[in-house]
Structure 1
Amino acid sequence: MTDSPVDMCVPGFGHGLGEALLIEWVAGVGDRVERGDVVAVVETDKASTEIVAERDGRVTAHSATAGTILKSGDVLYQLAADQPPLAPRSTDPVT
C-alpha cells in the first residue's frame, strides 16, 4: 500500500535561467528512489543538471517526455511514499 502520490516540481535553475530541456529520465515509472537519487537529467543554457529525489518513495508517473522544455515550478513527476507490507494473514483455523 502506498500514500497518495505527491507532485514533484522542477526546481529553480538559478538567476536568469527560467527553462531547461529534459534530456533523460534516470528513474522510470515504478522505480523506487531514495532521497538524493538522480531522477532525471535536464540541460539549461549553461550546463546539464541532475534532478534528484527530495524524499524516498516510488515514482508513479512522469509528467514530461525527453525533449520537453521545462520551467521552474512545473510538475515533473509524481512520487508515492512506500509503506511497509502488511503481515500475511494466517490461514490456520481458529481453535
Structure 2
Amino acid sequence: MSEPLDVRVPSFGHGLDEALLIEWVAAVGNRVERGDVVAVVETNKTTTEIVAEHTGRITAHAATAGTVLSSGAVLYQLAAD
C-alpha cells in the first residue's frame, strides 16, 4: 500500500489566502470519489465547498472545525483503496 496523499487547501483567488474551516462533510474512514464534497470553508467573501480531487479513503483530518487554514496547508490525508 502506498503512502497517504497530503491534500492541501486550495487557493481561493487574489487576496484570499485564508479560510475558516466550517465543517467536515467527509469523516475519517470515509471513501470519497473525485468531485465529492469533503469540507465547507468560509473566506471573507463567500462560503465554499472543497471537493475531492482524487478518489480514495480519508485517513486523517489535519484541522478541526473552527480552524483558520492558509492556502497550501495540508487539509487531510487520502489513501488509495
Q: Which interval holds the TM-score relative to the shorter structure? A: over 0.9
> Could you tell me how far apart the structure 1 residues matched to 2:13 and 2:80 are?
29
User: Under a length normalisation based on structure 2, what TM-score does the superposition of the two structures give?
Assistant: 0.97
**Secondary structure, counterpart of 2:39 in structure 1:** strand
Partner of 1:5: 4
> Could you tell me how far apart the structure 1 residues matched to 2:70 and 2:39 are?
14
Q: Which runs of 4+ in 1 moved over 2 A?
A: none
- 1:3 is displaced (CA, Å) by 2.8
Uncovered stretches (5+) of structure 2, i.e. residues with no partner = none
Which AA in structure 1 matches 2:29? G
**Higher strand fraction (1 or 2):** 2
Q: What RMSD in Å do the two structures reach over aligned CA positions?
A: 0.7
User: Under a length normalisation based on structure 1, what TM-score does the superposition of the two structures give?
Assistant: 0.83
> Could you tell me how far apart the structure 2 residues matched to 1:38 and 1:59 are?
12
Uncovered stretches (5+) of structure 1, i.e. residues with no partner = 83-95
